[in-house]
Amino acid sequence: MFAKRVAALVAVAVIVSAALGGLTGAAGMVLGIIATSVTILGWWPPIRLLGTVADEISGADPDLPNRKAATLGTSYVVVIFLVKIPIFLLLGLLARHLGGAAAACFLGGLGLVYFVLIWWLLTRDQRAA
């Protein structure tokens, strides 16, 4: 249900951007949503990995094995973390290059993704109950 609401919110945001800024406004909104989503998804695994490393170092979780060698998952986390910033910057520059309302709508898409993240965090416990 939450995913449907988010999809509807994104669709409305793109339609409003198109109505206010034309095709470049809609493109800017889509680029902003994609860039910020990639950035957030790029941050999520490193944060979880740091929590796991902290548990391994402190010995808080006895079920976690002490691994010294880098695993494929760790390598993936590092690559995604390093790639997310250039993707964000390239999509932002593309929105700026499009001109018109694209840059402003890019920032609107950025804000929309963060508001959806906050919405998800605030309603997460309510949906689980």
Query: Other CB atoms closer than 10 Å to residue 16's CB: what's the count?
Result: 15
Residue 128 lies in a domain: no
The whole-chain average pLDDT of the chain stands at: 82
Residue 17 lies in a domain: yes
Residue 129 lies in a domain: no
Domain that holds residue 88: 2-122
pLDDT at 64: 54
**Model confidence, pTM:** 0.67
pLDDT at 69: 46
Residue 66 lies in a domain: yes
Mean pLDDT, residues 79-101: 89
SS3 of 58-127 = HCCCCCCCCCCCCCHHHHHHHHHHHHHHHHHHHHHHHHHHHCCCHHHHHHHHHHHHHHHHHHHHHHHHHH
Residue 9 lies in a domain: yes
Q: Comparing 107 with 69, which gets the higher pLDDT?
A: 107
pLDDT at 85 over 80: yes
Please give the tally of structural domains in the chain. 1
